Amino acid sequence: MLDLNKFTANQLGWSTFFNQQMSLEEMEICFPARVTNVYPNTVECLCEKGEISLSLENEMNQLVAGDWLLLTDDHLFHRVLDRSTELHSTTSQHTLVANLDTLFVVSSMNSGFDLSYIKDSVALAKNSHIEVVVILTHKDQCEDYYFYQDQVQAIRHDLVIEAINARDEEYIHSLLDWCGKGQMVALIGKENSGKSRIVKTLLSVTQTPDSSRFGKKESLPSNQFYLLSNAGLIFESAAIEELCHSQTREDKLHDALLDLKRLSKECRFADCKHTVEPGCAIQHAIKLGELDRSLISEIQSDDGDFDSDVMKRALDKKSDKLSKTLHSISRKNKKEIE
């Protein structure tokens, strides 16, 4: 069983990537500590010495959960180490959590299933170069879980999907492949999706005491870290939910337009207006939850055709972003050649 007073830096996620950033002098006078919470005036950390609380300094303003700090032997802040990954939205450089290895996107296979939410969450992880696993819960109560699994698989052919009963330890064992020692996994999902039950069963499977939770602080919003016995870190934060839906309206319109163009070719009738006609692939996709009805209504004109003005605005926005990205890459390559 985990001794909460004697865990190592490696258990907290310390790796060669971070160790190589330290100078020989720093190795002699400093030790690493991992940030769990950043409050208005204090920063909470975990290290081999246990839990440490630091006063927030100007040099620490950009800290987020998951960051690694170097502290002196007398617990004074020395500097922040470079991050291996950053979880941030597609439209903002605001970072919520650093050095995350895997994102678990949790969704229930019932009326709470939201394919659009899953798409946004997967994009959030992929754009941040973080591994993502979609976990579909309530398998024991679902008559046809393939109905949900196939919809999610259509997002990406290489997407990893686990359909589980979150109360069954046998299913939870399959998730431990992503929760190895030193690995940090975050959970994201809507209310009643099964996130809390997954965490509880993970604690049971790894024989981790409930007291392994760090970040609990009265009267203040807090990230939650769970240090699993002989495994990695589990991270929960409501703030991730806000980032998941920060995609701009123009981006969503552009993605919806691409889906509309593709699906319109699958309609039974060539002159389909995509309203009440039989065999309309677009209306079928809306019923399955694969398309956002509000976005489709905004794109379609009164006669059922796709609104060219809306399309132009969305495509222009996307084109401008692509142009800036290519320009940035070109400048970087030119600089490297010189």
Are 100 and 87 in contact by the 8 Å Cβ rule? The answer is yes
What is the distance between the alpha carbons of residues 291 and 294, in angstroms, rounded to a whole number? 9
In the CATH scheme, what architecture does the domain 86-244 have?
3-Layer(aba) Sandwich (3.40)
Residue 259's pLDDT band (cuts 50, 70, 90): confident
What is the distance between the alpha carbons of residues 289 and 297, in angstroms, rounded to a whole number? 14
pLDDT at 208: 85
In the CATH scheme, what architecture does the domain 249-319 have?
Orthogonal Bundle (1.10)
What is the distance between the alpha carbons of residues 198 and 172, in angstroms, rounded to a whole number? 7
The least confident of 110-114, 224-228, 285-289, 315-319 is 315-319
pTM for this entry = 0.71
Give the 3-state DSSP-derived string for 47-88, with helices as H, strands as E and coil as C.
ECCEEEEEECCHHHCCCCECCEEEEECCCCEEEECCCCCEEE
The least confident of 255-259, 294-298, 334-338 is 334-338
Domains 86-244 and 249-319 share a fold: no
Where in the chain are the domains?
16-80, 86-244, 249-319
What is the distance between the alpha carbons of residues 246 and 127, in angstroms, rounded to a whole number? 13
Token pair for 266: 């699958």
CATH number of 16-80: 2.30.30.140
Q: E strands of 165-240, at which residues?
A: 184-189, 213-214, 224-227, 233-236
Residue 69, pLDDT above cutoff 90: yes
Residue 302's pLDDT band (cuts 50, 70, 90): very low
Residue 88's pLDDT band (cuts 50, 70, 90): confident
Residue 104, pLDDT above cutoff 90: yes
What is the distance between the alpha carbons of residues 319 and 199, in angstroms, rounded to a whole number? 42
In percent, the amount of the chain with pLDDT more than 70 equals: 75
Which contiguous run of DSSP H or E holds residue 242?
helix 239-244
Residue 330's pLDDT band (cuts 50, 70, 90): very low
107-163 pLDDT, tens per residue?
999 988 989 889 888 988 888 889 999 999 999 999 899 999 999 999 999 999 999
What is the distance between the alpha carbons of residues 337 and 335, in angstroms, rounded to a whole number? 5
